[in-house]
Amino acid sequence: MALSAAARHFAVRAFRRAAVLLTAGAVAASGLVPPPAAAQTPKGLPIIHDAEIETLLRDYMRPIFQAAGINEGVVEITLINSRDFNAFVADGRRIFVNVGALMDSKTPNEIIGVLAHETGHITGGHLARLRQRLEQAQTLSIVAMLLGLGGAAAAMATRSADGGAAMGAVLAPQEAIRRSLLSYQRGEENAADRAAVSFLNKSGQSAKGMLTTFKRFDSQIAFSKQFIDPYAQSHPMPADRIASLEELAKKSPYFDKLDPPALQARHDLMRAKLFGFVDTPQGVGRRYPPSDTSLPARYARAIASYRSAPLAGAIEQIDGLIASQPNNPYFHELKGQAYLENGKPAQAVPELRKAVSLAPNAQLIRTMLGEALTASGGKGATGDAISELTRATARDSRNADAFRKLAIAYAQKNRIPEADLASAQAAFADGDYGTARQIANRAKKGFKQGTPNWLKADDIASYTPPKDN
């Protein structure tokens, strides 16, 4: 039956609204907590990198992955520069963690519980199943909309119903489908919570940190929760999660087990580092006043100082950190970074070399060393930079920044085809495949066909990204 122009317009509006209702809350469907407003998709997120923090998170995740039967090299942990407390998975191999979750977690156990929860989503295959549910829901919504439109068109033709009643006839099934989908998501969140407790038990760790996190959420919404419809949320209410998990968590023989002191010390340094970089100098001073002479407080103040005060004073503070822990690679990294960002690359080089010697697998520090060598202008420095940056990119092909710096170093040596290849690899690592193909085609002209560099350029030039499902 053909629809009138008015009915077709009504159908379009209803379908658009149905699509919004079905997808709202499902964008970050596997997050620990629901975002306060529209969820932000992984594409375009403000991603940050830090060798110290990423190393610590990998150490947190190792026993969880072992308990879950996951190869730790398969899952990537990515830091998001957001002060909100949140974490989520975007697929079966990436966990995204807001720095706000790290800054607000006072113990390793709290953030380990968050990561265990996200691992539960991965092992449960929740994202794949959610996509299937979304497809089913969209199909059902279209059918329900068309059935509703048939009744609405008839009602309008006979003038036996007004426009509001007609719209209600169409949208009521959409709302039922939306709530069914949200109920499914809440079930997946509960399943991930239970899986997290099992991973913590298997790895000999406490689930108390998870309860601490949920209790914090519950206190934060204490006033507003009376106005929240729990059946219109993609996640269970914090109080419900606490009730569901508390008995299970307390049955564990590890419930009262504390984090090892050395791990707590690293966690405290990580939080101090984040506050030093993210907060204002005044905020750092309030959180870590001069009367606080602990190592984390001194770390935060040294970072805030190098960001906002004369370099000499910051270097003096960093030297004090190094005197306390001479073999801490990240203190040497900080000193090198302070020199480099203040236009003193030659003075940054020895500190960064020391940091790399202490943390040889920290490719981010190696990348900074390559940058300092390139900028220093010392004899043989550019060749050393190429060596360091080549090593960094060989061990981390997603390190776009290292490829860009490698391109600069090659250009300084007038090795233009290699510089073009590194630029193409940087664009490829960033996901800019169009630019990568263009530069790779140019690089191919500078290499003999069939050589390793020609093959690398050809692989990029002929790459076709997979289409989204």
Q: State residue 203 phi and psi, 5-degree precision.
A: -95, 5
Task: Provide the residue-wise pLDDT of the chain in tens; the chain has 469 residues.
Answer: 343 333 333 333 333 333 333 333 333 334 443 333 323 334 567 889 999 999 999 999 999 999 999 887 888 889 999 998 888 887 778 889 999 999 999 999 999 999 998 898 888 654 544 455 445 545 444 444 444 444 444 454 555 555 555 444 444 455 554 545 444 455 567 788 889 999 999 999 999 998 888 788 655 544 444 434 443 444 556 677 777 788 888 899 999 999 999 999 999 999 999 999 999 999 999 999 999 999 999 999 999 999 998 999 999 999 999 999 999 999 999 999 999 999 999 999 999 999 999 999 999 999 999 999 999 988 899 999 999 999 999 999 999 999 999 999 999 999 999 999 999 999 999 999 999 999 999 999 999 999 999 999 999 999 998 775 4
Instruction: In whole angstroms, give the CA distance from residue 312 to residue 300.
Output: 17
At position 299, the amino acid (one-letter code) is Y
Whose CA is closest to 193, among 259, 129, 124?
124
- Please tell me the predicted confidence (pLDDT) of residue 410: 97
* 154, 169 Cβ separation under 8 angstroms: no
Q: What number of other Cβ atoms are within 10 A of residue 464's Cβ?
A: 7
Q: State residue 77 phi and psi, 5-degree precision.
A: -105, 125
Q: How many residues does the chain have?
A: 469
Alpha helices by DSSP H, listed for 279-310, are 281-287, 295-308
Q: Would the pTM count as exceeding 0.85?
A: no
